[in-house]
Amino acid sequence: MLVSIRDFVDVDLYPDEESVVRDALRSLLRTRPEMRLELGVRRYEGEEDLSLAKAASIAGVSFDQMKEILAERGIPLRLGPGSVEEAQADIAEIKSWFDERPH
């Protein structure tokens, strides 16, 4: 490679290597929006704690568009608790919020 990340820092175009990489990634995602979409889809598919809303934000699409894209690809949506136990734990947590509030 003729140019390295460090070259940009050495000639004072960027303060550090991380800034070079961040700018390069922004440019990449701006010029290749399909990569942004793929990143959102694949992160949603691979990370159980990534919400649909966050995946849509990463992909640069609306919540409803993301639901459609995932459905078209056969990727199951994770909306709400995954089991009865999780739902009961959520309910208990919400009840505790109300019990702690002054009346």
pLDDT digits (tens, 9 = 90+) for 38-79: 999 999 999 888 888 899 999 999 989 999 999 999 999 987
Segment 10-43, tens digit of pLDDT: 999 999 999 999 999 999 999 999 999 999 999 9
**In whole angstroms, what is the distance from residue 40 CA to residue 47 CA?**
10
| pLDDT score, position 46 | 92
pTM, entire model = 0.66
Token pair 């995602």: residue? 29
**pLDDT surpassing 70 at residue 103:** no
Residue 7 pLDDT level (bands cut at 50, 70, 90): very high
Mean pLDDT, the chain, integer: 88
The token duo for 72 is: 């078209």
Long-range Cβ contact pairs of 91-97 (< 8 A, separation 24 or more): none
Strands (E), the chain: none
In order, the DSSP letters of 29-93 are: HHH-HHHHHHHHHHHHHH-TT--HHHHHHHHTS-HHHHHHHHHHTTPPP--S-SSHHHHHHHHHH
